[in-house]
Structure 1
Amino acid sequence: MDKIEIYTDGACSGNPGPGGWGAILIYKGVEKELSGYESHTTNNRMELTGPIKALEALKRPCEIVIYTDSAYVCKAFTDNWIKKWQKNNWQTSKKTPVENQDLWMRLMELLDAHSVSWVKVKGHSDNEKNNRCDSLARAAIKTGVL
């Protein structure tokens, strides 16, 4: 199986407001940058959209490490929130509907084809790739709003 590293980030100008996402896919030292814009969204939706769009760009099953600064996204997998939500029919522990179910379900569909591990990185610090994803997301917002 091919090994891929993916870095992702999402940003929002206002929450909700215009949003952007950025992703960097790294395969055998070659980087591919992706980004996109939504006119009215939330930061969490953009944080989820980054990994979704990165995974949609892959053409075959891979062994993947996804790096994100979003505790919301990362902990859903590392702390097994997603399994609990699914077991509870997409309800939180407080018996309220899980937000962004459409994106969580799409992400789960995409993950089925791959072997994925998640790594939480500190945002807005010294992680060059995370900072670049943040720049891609913010640039997408500026481009979309213009």
Structure 2
Amino acid sequence: MIEIFTDGASSGNPGPGGYGVILKAGKYYKELAEGFRKTTNNRMELLAVIKGLEALKKPGNEVTIYSDSKYVVDAVEKKWVFGWLNKGFAGKKNSDLWLRFLQVYKLHQVKFVWVKGHAGHPENERCDQLAVKAGQDRQRHQIDTVFEQEANKL
């Protein structure tokens, strides 16, 4: 059983942002974080989940993902994302990340658990710290190219 804890953050929406991830399996513990110069909170919440799943080396794992993002948790648990896929993500934001998510999601047996953010949940609080710090570290920012290209079209 693998547990993945995730959080995303952005300063402004859009603005600089980041994600934080904790992976736990038995005694194994790993933290991941990355910042972007311009993104949105929802993109970072979803990217955190993707990066956590992509970090798993072998397919077929039982995975529980803990997230404070209703956007992500409800889209999967209520199966909205599969309807969006069937309609070609018409009118939906973040289709690039949702498609990436679906590719890695199908490799595992994934269950989502929503946790209330900023409510003292230790791993959620740590993921928030990682995400905020990554978003503030402008020296290491990545470029969310898909988001920035879409934003420039508007």
CA contact (8 A) 2:33 2:134 kept: yes
Residue 58 of structure 1 is aligned with which of 56, 59, 67? 56
Q: How far apart in 2 are the matches of 1:99 and 1:5?
A: 27
1:63-101 deviations in Å (ceiling 9; x for gaps): 10000000000001111111211222213xxxxx11000
Aligned AA (1:73): V
CA contact (8 A) 1:18 1:145 kept: no
Would you say 1:26 and 2:24 are equivalent positions?
A: yes
Q: How far apart in 1 are the matches of 2:51 and 2:76?
A: 18
Would you say 1:37 and 2:35 are equivalent positions?
A: yes
Q: How far apart in 1 are the matches of 2:79 and 2:121?
A: 25
Correspondences of 1:93-108 after superposition (within 5 Å):
97-108=91-102
CA deviation after TM superposition for structure 1 residue 50, in Å: 0.3
Would you say 1:121 and 2:115 are equivalent positions?
A: yes
Aligned AA (2:65): I
1:96-139 deviations in Å (ceiling 9; x for gaps): x1100000000000011111001100000021100000000011
CA deviation after TM superposition for structure 1 residue 145, in Å: 5.7
CA contact (8 A) 2:64 2:110 kept: yes
- Give unmatched runs, 5+ long, in structure 2: 141-154
Q: With structure 1 as the length reference, what TM-score do the two structures score?
A: 0.91
CA contact (8 A) 1:39 1:145 kept: no
Query: In the alignment, which residue of structure 2 is the partner of 1:94?
Result: none
CA contact (8 A) 2:17 2:44 kept: yes
Considering only aligned residues, what root-mean-square deviation do their CA atoms show, in Å? 1.2
Aligned AA (2:124): N
Q: With structure 2 as the length reference, what TM-score do the two structures score?
A: 0.87
Aligned residues: 139
Query: In the alignment, which residue of structure 1 is the partner of 2:72?
Result: 73
CA contact (8 A) 1:4 1:25 kept: yes
